[in-house]
Each structure stands twice: as structure tokens, then as C-alpha cells.
Amino acid sequence: MRAWSVVEPGPVEEGALRLVEKPVPVAEDDELLVRVRVCGVCRTDLHVAEGDLPVHRPGVTPGHEVVGEVAGFGAAVRGFEVGERVGVAWLRRTDGTCAYCARGAENLCPASRYTGWDADGGYAPYTTVPAAFAYRLPGGLDDVTSAPLLCAGIIGHRALRRSALPPGGRLGLYGFGGSAHLCAQVAMAEGATVHVLTRGAAARKLALDLGAASARDAYEMPPEPLDSAILFAPVGDLVPFALRALDRGGTLAIAGIHLSDVPALRYESELFYEKQLRSVTSNTREDGREFLALAAEHAVHATTHAYPLSRADQALADLKAGRFDGAAVLVNDLS
């Protein structure tokens, strides 16, 4: 099969990602073989391709927002049928035995493995996934709409929970791409007032169209103090701005896996009055199941831009340059 491969991490516009010939993967005993229908494009794919994240598997095929169908499975798999629609997401394996796993924090498992980083992902016609980590997707959401839910949506949902937003609270979203625009919809459906702070007129317009109370540039102050904020933009310089925008007792959650350095913080204006600064690390399968159910219940709509899978390099370059709002989704045209 023809699959995308990070041959040598570097700038995507200089060819870090190449189409190469790879064998169709073979499912391990506890894995599903999945025929990829679509694969969402996540900013983490960009970080893998450009070397912001260390190489875990040389020549890896990125992609961890896969909607596909079961094409086969290993001998130990029970409960799946060939042809069934499944989702493949970022969290791929945990040991299930460590102290973190035991207390329900499998997102912190030191032995965790990730799709499209430790193992080949969905920028290819076929991929594999441990059956225990495959998601069953709610009916009523089509393939293209479902793909961004699988990472952008799930991570945004964990970030929302980590931001400790009180019921009916005021939520600030810094950056408004694939993850934030899904998170915003659930937050508003649950009664939040959402303020969006982001560069890019198209993203600000999308925010207002979805029902945000305000949309301003990322370095401006929101029109009212925030109970909670989530930093989606991978820009450490925004941390002090977001902390200053918080009301007393407010919480800032940082959603990204990668963040440029955070400048020195001023204690009195940025942390005092019990403001909290939290990171968000991956997600648990429970986060995923909870979010997918909420997405179906609230009819969350992903704003998507379809690209043929054969143009994944272009999609990543466009993501890097901020040339679209919402989320890019690759539609499989490879074999």
C-alpha cells in the first residue's frame, strides 16, 4: 500500500512527509485491522512530522483520528465484526497495571503508546488498533464529521473538564482550531458563556457563528473576567495573558502536547488569588466515550475541510500556515 511516512522530521513544506510503499499491516492477536475511510489532521501530526516531538518510530505513518471499518482481527479479539465502523484515536495502549492505571488515570501511564507516533497511524489505506482501544462511533454522525472528534474533540473535552468550569461559568478559549471549536459547542450546550481569543479573522467569525459571546485577538483582554480558560494555541507567551484574564479562583488549562516556553510569571497579577495553572495530558478511554456520547447528544458539528489523503502534505502545510478554520480531514484515495 502507499502510505505517508515521516522520513526525516523537518519543515512540512520542505517534504518531511513522503508517500512511500509499505506492506499492509498485520493485526496482532488483540488488534483490529482497519481499512481507513477518513483520517482527521491533528496539530500533533505536525509536531511529529517536524520533530517537535522526539522520534519514537523511524519512518512512522502519522494520523490518529481514523474512521474506518474492521477489515480483520487477531485470534484473541472478541465482539467485533468485519465491516463494522470503528474509530482509532491517539491513546493506543497502556499497561493496565501501574499505579496510574489502577486509579483511573491511564492517560498518565508511563508505558502508554500512541497511534501515529509509536505505531503507524491513519495516513494510509490500512492501520491497526488494539481492540480494547478502538471506539464504537455513534450513529448519526458521518465519517468526516466524526474524525475530528477522535482527538481534537476528546482532548478538548478533557481540557474543558480540567479547566474546572463552574456551571453557567465564563470560559475563555485561546486559539480556535479543530479542538476549540468542538469544545466550545459542548461548553455552550452545558450553559457556559464562551469568549474566544485568537488570531485570524476566519476563526473569530466561526466562533461568533457558533454562538461565542465575543471573539477578539489572542493578546487582548476578554470583555469580562473568566472563571476558566483553555489554552489551545501552542504559544507559551499567551499563558500570562490568559492568567491575567482569570477572575479570582480561576483555572487555566493548557491543552496542547507541545507548548513554546512560558515566560516568567508575575505572582501578584498572574497567580495570586488562588488562580490555577494546569496541563492536560492525553486522555483516558472514559474521556473518549463520555465525549462521543455528548457529541451525539448535542449534535456537535465539526467544521471540516476535506483533502484527498494523497495530499496530506498540503493539509499539514495549510494547518501550519493557518489557511483554514475548523479541522482538515483526509479522505482515503490511496490503495
Nearest approach, Cβ of residue 282 and Zn ion (Å): 9
Residue (44 or 228) nearer to Zn ion, CB: 44
Nearest approach, Cβ of residue 109 and Zn ion (Å): 3
Residue (104 or 139) nearer to Zn ion, CB: 104
Nearest approach, Cβ of residue 65 and Zn ion (Å): 7
Q: What is the distance in angstroms between the CA of the first residue and the CA of the last residue of the chain?
A: 5
Nearest approach, Cβ of residue 91 and Zn ion (Å): 10
All three cell numbers of 72: 480483520
Nearest approach, Cβ of residue 335 and Zn ion (Å): 25
Residue (98 or 213) nearer to Zn ion, CB: 98
Residue (42 or 192) nearer to Zn ion, CB: 42
Residue (42 or 207) nearer to Zn ion, CB: 42
Residues 6+ apart with CB under 8 A from 143: 37, 38, 67, 85
Residues 6+ apart with CB under 8 A from 87: 65, 66, 67, 134, 135, 136, 137, 146, 147, 149, 150, 292
Q: Is 168 left (phi over 0), alpha (psi -120 to 50) or beta?
A: left
CA neighbor of 45 nearest in space, from 16, 21, 69, 86? 16
Return residues touching Zn ion (CB under 5 A): 42, 44, 94-95, 98, 101, 109, 151
